[in-house]
Amino acid sequence: MRLRLLPLIIWLCAGAAAAETLRLGTDGDFPPNVTTRADGTLEGFEPELAALMCPLAGYDCRWVVMPFDRLERALLAREIDAIMAGMGRTSEREARMAFTTPYLAPTVSLFMVREGSEIELSRARIAAQAGSHQAAHVQAIGAGLVATDSFDAALAALREGRAEALLATRTWLSRQNTEGLVTTGPEVITSKGAAIALRPEDTEILRRLDTALATLEGDGRLSELRRKWFGKD
Give me the CATH number covering residue 80. 3.40.190.10
Q: Is 84 a domain residue? A: yes
- Residue range 127-175, pLDDT digits in tens: 999 999 999 999 999 999 999 999 999 999 999 999 999 999 998 999 8
Same domain, 200 and 95: yes
Instruction: Calculate the alpha carbon distances from 6 to 12, 42, 64, 112 in Å.
Output: 10, 10, 11, 38
Mean pLDDT of the chain: 91
The model carries a pTM of 0.80
pLDDT at 18: 62
- Does the pLDDT value for residue 6 go beyond 50? no
How deeply is 197 buried, as exposed, middle or buried, from its count of CB atoms within 10 A (0-12, 13-18, 19+)?
Answer: buried
Same domain, 100 and 203: yes
- Residue range 79-91, pLDDT digits in tens: 999 999 999 999 9
For residues 53-69, average pLDDT? 97
3-state secondary structure of 59: strand
Q: Is 132 a domain residue? A: yes
pLDDT at 11: 43
Same domain, 94 and 20: yes
Q: Is 21 a domain residue? A: yes
Same domain, 25 and 63: yes
pLDDT at 15: 44
pLDDT at 161: 96
Whether residue 98 contacts residue 110, with contact meaning beta carbons closer than 8 Å, is answered with no
Same domain, 165 and 66: no
Longest dimension (CA), the chain: 59
Whether residue 104 contacts residue 49, with contact meaning beta carbons closer than 8 Å, is answered with no
Name the residue range of residue 100's domain. 6-104+193-230
- Does the pLDDT value for residue 25 go beyond 50? yes
Q: Is 159 a domain residue? A: yes
Residue type, 32: P
Same domain, 61 and 172: no
CA distance 104 to 129: 19
Within 8 A by CB and 6+ apart from 77, the residues are: none
pLDDT above 70 coverage of the chain, percent: 92
Same domain, 60 and 72: yes
Instruction: Calculate the alpha carbon distances from 140 to 92, 128, 155, 163 in Å.
Output: 12, 13, 20, 17
DSSP state of 122: G
Same domain, 158 and 222: no
3-state secondary structure of 70: helix
3-state secondary structure of 108: strand
How deeply is 214 buried, as exposed, middle or buried, from its count of CB atoms within 10 A (0-12, 13-18, 19+)?
Answer: middle
Closest to 25 measured CA to CA, from 5, 39, 3: 5
Which range of 105-109, 171-175, 179-183 scores highest in mean pLDDT? It is: 179-183
Least confident span in 3-7, 23-27, 178-182: 3-7
pLDDT above 90 coverage of the chain, percent: 88
Same domain, 49 and 164: no
- Does the pLDDT value for residue 107 go beyond 60? yes
The number of folded domains in the chain is 2
Same domain, 93 and 76: yes
Instruction: Calculate the alpha carbon distances from 65 to 13, 36, 190 in Å.
Output: 17, 10, 24
Same domain, 197 and 100: yes
Same domain, 49 and 138: no
Q: Is 170 a domain residue? A: yes
Residue type, 220: G
Q: Is 1 a domain residue? A: no
